[in-house]
């Protein structure tokens, strides 16, 4: 004689739903990593890493295009330049393009962007890149381009700020590096030397 336990009325339905959920979960597993891969990981390098990497390449003489550049002094991290670079990188990511022209009136030019950030430049340079996955790749790209390489090797520049922002579109990552020298402080006409 066989003994059967009575099943509650919803048990068959619950078992079928459980099997269906397991099948759906198994189908979605291969898709989940692809969706995560579609979104680039954050790319903002640490300030110390930026300064160390750029100062290491500035410490060696190099050729930028047809011009030979001597080794030059180290740069220092400037928070105002870094904030301005971050804002412009975010703008480029929103626009989905790479351009040295900003969208605002005051921020349309490099000098305007730096002044808005509170940095009054005597000289300034801007390196942009779209797509590199790492700081090393961005630096390699800039070193392969004479004008960008020259910016990195300018002895007149003493400060640096750099930012990387991830964004939608074909590039994924937007890099902005600002290199500059501040304008000398002017004495007030009311003060005597």
pLDDT averages per 10-residue partition of the chain, 193 residues: 50 50 43 44 82 97 97 97 95 82 70 93 96 94 97 98 89 95 70 39
**Packing angle, helices 135-143 and 146-153, rounded to 10:** 110
User: 121 in helix, strand or coil?
Assistant: strand
pTM for the model stands at 0.73
**Packing angle, helices 47-58 and 135-143, rounded to 10:** 30
Give how many domains the chain has, as a whole number: 2
User: 128 in helix, strand or coil?
Assistant: strand
What pLDDT does 95 receive? Answer: 84
Same domain for 46 and 24: no
Same domain for 20 and 49: no
CA distance 74 to 83: 20
Same domain for 82 and 108: yes
**Residue for token digits 């619950």?**
14
Residue 3 inside a domain? The answer is: no
Same domain for 94 and 50: yes
Residue 5 inside a domain? The answer is: no
What pLDDT does 15 receive? Answer: 53
Distances (CA, A) of 30 to 37, 113, 154: 12, 44, 49
Same domain for 90 and 109: yes
Longest Cα separation, the chain: 115
Same domain for 99 and 27: no
Same domain for 77 and 33: no
Same domain for 31 and 84: no
Same domain for 168 and 82: yes
Residue 107 inside a domain? The answer is: yes
Q: Which of 162, 179, 168 minimizes the C-alpha distance to 87?
A: 162
Residue 183: Cβ-neighbour burial (10 angstroms; 0-12, 13-18, 19+): exposed
DSSP H helices, the chain, are 11-28, 31-38, 47-58, 79-95, 110-116, 135-143, 146-153
Q: What's the domain range around 142?
A: 40-182
Same domain for 14 and 77: no
| Partners of 114 in the β-ladder | none
Same domain for 116 and 53: yes
């Amino acid at each position: 004689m066989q003994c059967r336990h009575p099943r509650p009325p919803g048990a068959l339905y619950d078992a079928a739903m459980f099997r269906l959920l397991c099948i759906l979960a198994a189908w979605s597993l291969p898709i989940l990593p692809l969706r995560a891969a579609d979104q680039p990981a954050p790319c903002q390098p640490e300030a110390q890493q930026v300064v160390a990497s750029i100062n290491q390449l500035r410490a060696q003489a190099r050729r930028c295009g047809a011009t030979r550049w001597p080794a030059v002094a180290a740069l220092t991290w400037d928070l105002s330049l870094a904030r301005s670079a971050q804002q412009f990188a975010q703008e480029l990511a929103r626009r989905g393009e790479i351009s040295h022209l900003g969208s605002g009136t005051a921020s349309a030019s490099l000098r305007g962007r730096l002044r808005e950030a509170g940095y009054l430049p005597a000289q300034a340079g801007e390196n942009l890149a779209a797509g590199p996955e790492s700081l090393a790749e961005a630096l390699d790209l800039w070193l392969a381009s004479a004008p960008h390489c020259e910016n990195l090797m300018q002895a007149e520049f003493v400060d640096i700020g750099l930012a990387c922002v991830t964004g939608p579109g074909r590039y994924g990552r937007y890099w902005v590096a600002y290199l500059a020298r501040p304008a000398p402080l002017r004495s007030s006409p009311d003060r005597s030397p």
